[in-house]
């Protein structure tokens, strides 16, 4: 693990959010965030516009993903399901588990090229009872992997679609699960261990470097393809970045890192030298 530091030029978007756990970049060129009271926000990165697209009664929206039609797929741990929210705010349940197992703590969704939605189900903190769902287009869900069981959290898919990267918050590490040619889960490989820390969010850039946000302490890391762990931002005084959770690349050139600051009630941005990996927005 490297002790190298690089200064991240962090800016507050300057808009009012209610405990945003999630951030995402939509195919419509706008940013999205969730809220503690079930809000789905749509906003501009320059802070000039914010609108509440929908509010899920009794919900708390965690991770977000989008399809090509700009429908939002939002994990809701209170309702224990993944919602599908249309651009005009209509909310329906997209997936909630199956006859054998219901979703418990759906945390973060990731689409692959075929429109399958991988969803981390965190389970109970410290119990190692988490797993990952695979939801086929249309909403049929199956448990895909039980290896990444230690409170699976944020996720991202590799450029070639052959690996699913997973934060396992407790114990603190990042792993990756091979996606076999038949779509089944392959071997789990530990990518990096982060002792005495609580990782939460993940994103990849086009160079293959992995960005990791830590709920505690308030750190953003970049893990290079060569295995060097670089501290991009460390707000040990909690002056600006407080409990960073989900992260995403956005902007027209995908060179803006968007960071949800859950306990700071805010969203931050930072310019990056390399563009983020292009997300999958499947036609569903």
Residue 267 lies in a domain: no
* pLDDT tens digits, 79-127: 999 999 999 999 999 999 999 999 999 999 999 999 999 999 999 999 9
Q: What is the mean pLDDT of the segment spanning 156-171?
A: 97
Give pLDDT, residue 6. 58
Rounded average pLDDT over 243-250: 97
Task: Indicate if the pLDDT at residue 233 is higher than 70.
Answer: yes
CATH of the domain at 82: 2.120.10.30
* pLDDT band (50, 70, 90) for residue 8: confident
Residues 6 or more apart whose CB falls under 8 angstroms from that of 160 comprise none
Range 269-276 average pLDDT: 96
Q: Is residue 59 part of a domain?
A: yes
% of the chain exceeding 70 in pLDDT: 98
- Is the residue at 110 inside a domain? yes
Question: What digits encode the pLDDT tens for the residues 197-221?
Answer: 999 999 999 999 999 999 999 999 9
Question: Is the pLDDT reported for residue 166 higher than 50?
Answer: yes
Please report whether residue 251 resides in a domain. no
Q: Is the pTM above the cut of 0.85? A: yes
Domain count, the chain: 1
Tell me whether residue 191 is in a domain: yes
Domain enclosing residue 158, as ranges: 18-201
Q: Rounded mean pLDDT of 253-259?
A: 98
pLDDT tens-digit map of 120-144:
999 999 999 999 999 999 999 999 9
Structural domain includes residue 147: yes
């Amino acid at each position: 693990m490297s002790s190298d530091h690089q200064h991240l030029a962090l800016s507050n978007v300057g808009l009012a959010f209610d405990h945003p756990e999630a951030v995402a970049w939509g195919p419509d060129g706008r940013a999205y965030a969730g809220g503690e009271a079930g809000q789905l926000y749509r906003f501009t990165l320059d802070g000039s516009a914010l609108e509440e697209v929908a509010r899920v009664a009794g919900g708390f929206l965690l991770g977000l993903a989008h399809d090509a039609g700009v429908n939002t797929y939002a994990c809701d741990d209170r309702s224990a399901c993944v919602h599908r929210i249309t651009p005009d705010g209509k909310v329906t349940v997209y997936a909630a588990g199956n006859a054998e197992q219901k979703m418990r703590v759906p945390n973060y969704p990731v689409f692959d090229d075929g429109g399958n939605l991988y969803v981390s189900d965190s389970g109970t903190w410290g119990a190692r009872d988490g797993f990952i769902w695979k939801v086929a287009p249309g909403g049929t869900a199956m448990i895909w992997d039980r290896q990444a069981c230690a409170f699976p959290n944020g996720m991202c898919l590799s450029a070639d679609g052959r690996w699913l990267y997973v934060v396992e918050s407790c114990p603190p590490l990042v792993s990756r699960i091979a996606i076999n040619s038949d779509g089944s889960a392959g071997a789990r490989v530990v990518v990096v261990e982060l002792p005495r820390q609580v990782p939460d969010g993940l994103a990849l850039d086009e160079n293959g470097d992995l960005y990791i946000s830590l709920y505690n302490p308030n750190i953003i890391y970049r893990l290079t393809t060569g295995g060097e762990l670089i501290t991009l931002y460390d707000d040990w005084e909690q002056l600006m970045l407080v409990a960073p959770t989900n992260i995403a690349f956005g902007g027209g050139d995908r060179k803006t890192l968007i960071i949800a600051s859950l306990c700071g009630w805010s969203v931050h941005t930072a310019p990056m030298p390399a563009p983020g990996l292009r997300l999958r927005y499947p036609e569903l």
